[in-house]
Amino acid sequence: MAKFFKYLFATFAGGLMAAIVLLFLLIGMLSAIATLGDKETKISENTLLVLDLNRPIIDRVTEDPFAEAMASIMGEASPEGLNRLLKNIEKAKRDENIAGIYLDAGMVQAGYATLEEIRNALIDFKTSGKFIYSLAPVYTQKSYYLASAADKVYLNPSGMLELKGMYAERTFFKKALEKVGVEIQVFKHGKFKSAVEPFLLEEMSEPARLQTQVYLNSMWEHVKDKIAESRGLTGDKISELADEMPMFKSDEWILKSGLIDGLKYKDEVISELKELTDTDESDDLEAIKSAKYAKVYVSGGKGFIKDKIAVIYAEGDIDGTSADGIKSDKMSKAIREARRDSSVKAIVFRVNSPGGSALGSEIIWREVKLAQEAKPVIVSMGDYAASGGYYISCAADQILANPTTLTGSIGIFGMIPNAKGLADWAGVSFDGVKTNKFADMPSLVRPFRKDEKDLLQAYIVQGYNTFIGRCADGRDTTPEKIDEIGQGRVWSGLNAIDIDLVDKIGGLNMAISLAKEAAEIEDYRIVELPEVEDPIEQFMKELTGEARMFVGKSLMGEEYKYFKTLENLKQGYQIQARIPYNIDIN
């Protein structure tokens, strides 16, 4: 009886807790929905635009009160969008009421290519004569790269500044798989296509090490030279300072290095900003954050404009399991709609993808090709546009990449596990009857026979030949020339210029300008695609996705990203055109 009441009480308590959580969720949603009524926000003179970038930065963010509420309930910072940031910075440059920008970005979560675009927008903002101030208790290396564009870079006393160069690391699973009796059977084409190496080796192969060293050096050279340019130093000096490991140096050393303009507390920086904005010391600064500033109207001096440039966002794995990845059917539909819309005069295809399904890439490529035959198509590459990400880009009229974009990786692979050892260890056996020679293919509990291997390898080679053929057509060259720079090799954006994989170095704003020129139009408005889903449907999808991610991260911490990759590979198409690895460059 005691156990009965114990379980009854536990069930009641669990139900009560779930009800409380749902109640708070409902309150959060209603509060967020209430803010939708604020169609336009007005600001006064000498207002500061506050860019709080201590959060994930994605290519595209939309006004979604449910997502904001969910992030608040989960205790996480909601993502900021590159699209909104670029629009706000450009608008603030023209806005007479904006005196300057206050940058709060010590722990920014974005790739170097994304930061490059924000940084360039901030540098352009300064041409208006307005100021940018940055303050943080801790600057990561990426955050410092962004902050170095500011007029004043301040660090809290006893704070930390990370500057140490770049490091790329991969995780290898070969021995772990051997321990559980699982063999990964690999089929690939391209000596640099090292996506499969973590399952076959215990360290990087020489080709993988070579390509990583080349693009990592290219990225670091660019980053340190840009920091040096902003800080009035030399690239060699920045490298020398990085070797001193500034984050463990004294305040005096950091000041003397020239990396920052001063060690100040926030109240001291606020006082300085009050002087710049003619604000009385006893009054509060007028300030507005990015999400709210997006609702501020600043006249461009033009009325309704019919002509449009469609910016189509392709972000994430191609046909993976991620809720926010690229679904080939949905992406194809968006491109098709832009092609058929006579008011859309040009398309900017924003690609930020490590690749994914080879079949999904081919489906999207077809629609890009058809669109390019109808109107100008300009590709803007983000942090990644590699393998399948390059596949869907190659048919464009022009391709733009950032200096630190990772691209190329032209190659295909397939992986199928053989878990016979695991089954034997567990005492599980399999038997069956078949009608034809290959009826039991593929099997996950036996090794492939030679004729099966020959079939799969031939299919991989066929897919690779199709891939390089698509690239050759798009880049107006031969498959042989693409094969020389292909073979699965990854290149930085700067490297890719030299080998004609991309046409120009530039970001989303430049791509839009080029699309305008190619379409021969003067006035235009931007339409973003794919269209935003109904908020209720989007919320339910995000609720499911956030719940899965929350549980995964709670159990596995940072290692959850490896599980997510394995899940995408398991659930996706078996033949993949994706970058050789998940890589975080610090």
Q: What is the pLDDT of residues 496-529, one digit of tens each?
A: 999 999 999 999 999 999 999 999 999 999 999 9
Q: What is the pLDDT of residues 95-110, one digit of tens each?
A: 999 999 999 999 999 9
Annotation says 193 is catalytic:
yes
Q: Angle, nearest 10°, between helix axes 2-34 and 65-74?
A: 140
pLDDT of residue 75: 62
Peptide bond connecting 417 to the previous residue in cis, omega within 30 degrees of 0? no
Nearest alpha carbon to residue 184 among 167, 172, 170: 172
Q: Residue 455: exposed, middle, or buried by beta-carbon count in 10 A (0-12, 13-18, 19+)?
A: middle
**Strand 398-401 relative to strand 504-505: parallel, antiparallel, unpaired?**
parallel
CB atoms within 10 A of CB 85: 21
Cβ atoms of 498 and 484 closer than 8 Å? no
User: Which pLDDT score, from 0 to 100, does residue 20 have?
Assistant: 57
Q: How far is CA 161 from CA 36, 145, 178, 267, 283, in A?
A: 39, 11, 42, 20, 32
H-helix or E-strand spanning residue 352: strand 344-353
Query: Is pLDDT above 60 for 376?
Result: yes
The CATH fold assigned to 308-429+436-578 is 2-enoyl-CoA Hydratase; Chain A, domain 1 (3.90.226)
Contact 355, 389 (CB under 8 A): yes
Question: Which element (helix H / strand E) includes 129?
Answer: none
Question: What's residue 62's pLDDT?
Answer: 82
How many other β-carbons are positioned within 10 Å of the β-carbon of residue 97? 16
Q: Measured between alpha carbons, how far is residue 338 from residues 256, 316, 344, 526, 563 in Å? A: 54, 21, 6, 12, 36
Structure confidence by residue, pLDDT tens digits, 27-42: 555 554 444 445 678 8
Rounded Cα distance, 134 and 105, in Å: 8
The per-residue pLDDT for range 269-298, each reduced to its tens digit, is 999 999 999 999 999 999 999 999 999 999
> What are residue 136's DSSP bridge partners?
155
Among all chains, which residue has been given the structure tokens 């699973």?
173
Quote the CA–CA distance of 4 and 379 in Å, as a whole number.
64
Active-site hit among 188, 193, 226, 564 = 193
The DSSP code for 234 is -
Asked if pLDDT for residue 579 goes beyond 50, the answer is: yes
Does the pLDDT value for residue 6 go beyond 50? no
Most confident of 68-77, 322-331, 467-476: 467-476
Q: How far apart are CA 409 and CA 492, in angstroms?
A: 10
DSSP character at residue 88: H
Active site annotation includes 295: no
pLDDT at 70: 60
**Active-site residue among 134, 143, 194, 387?**
387
Q: Is residue 368 a contact partner of residue 392, using CB atoms and an 8 Å limit?
A: yes
CA atoms of 18 and 11, how far apart (whole Å): 11
pLDDT digits (tens, 9 = 90+) for 165-218: 999 999 999 999 999 999 999 888 878 877 789 999 999 999 999 999 999 999
pLDDT of residue 36: 47
Which CATH number is 41-164+245-293 given? 3.90.226.10
Mean pLDDT over residues 547-566, rounded?
Answer: 52
Residues 295/36, Cβ–Cβ less than 8 Å: no
Tell me how far CA of residue 378 lies from CA of 182, 393, 416, 459, in angstroms. 44, 9, 37, 31
Taking the domains of the chain in order of start, what are their residue ranges?
41-164+245-293, 308-429+436-578
Burial 402-418 (b: 16+ CB within 10 A, else e): bbbbbbbbbbbbbbbbb
Is residue 533 over pLDDT 90? Answer: no
Tell me, what's the pLDDT at 585? 66
Percent of the chain with pLDDT over 70: 81
Q: What is the percent of the chain with per-residue pLDDT over 90, rounded to a whole number?
A: 74
Res 558: pLDDT:
54
> Comparing C-alpha atoms, which of 342, 334, 501 is closest to residue 409?
501
Domain 41-164+245-293 and domain 308-429+436-578, same fold? Reply is yes
Confidence of residue 415 (pLDDT cuts 50, 70, 90): confident
CA dist list (Å): 393 to 80, 156, 396, 496, 547: 25, 44, 6, 13, 33
Whether residue 463 has pLDDT greater than 70? yes
Q: Is the pLDDT of residue 5 over 50?
A: no
**Does the structure show a pLDDT above 70 at 468?**
yes
Distance CA 333, CA 329 (A): 6
DSSP characters for 274-319? HHHTT--TTSPPPEEEHHHHTTB----S------EEEEEEEES-BT
The residue that leads in pLDDT, 5 or 471, is 471
**What does the pLDDT look like over 315-348, one tens digit per residue?**
999 997 656 799 999 999 999 999 999 999 999 9
Closest CA to 81 of 61, 97, 51: 61
Q: Report the distance separating Cα 163 and Cα 488, nearest Å.
A: 31
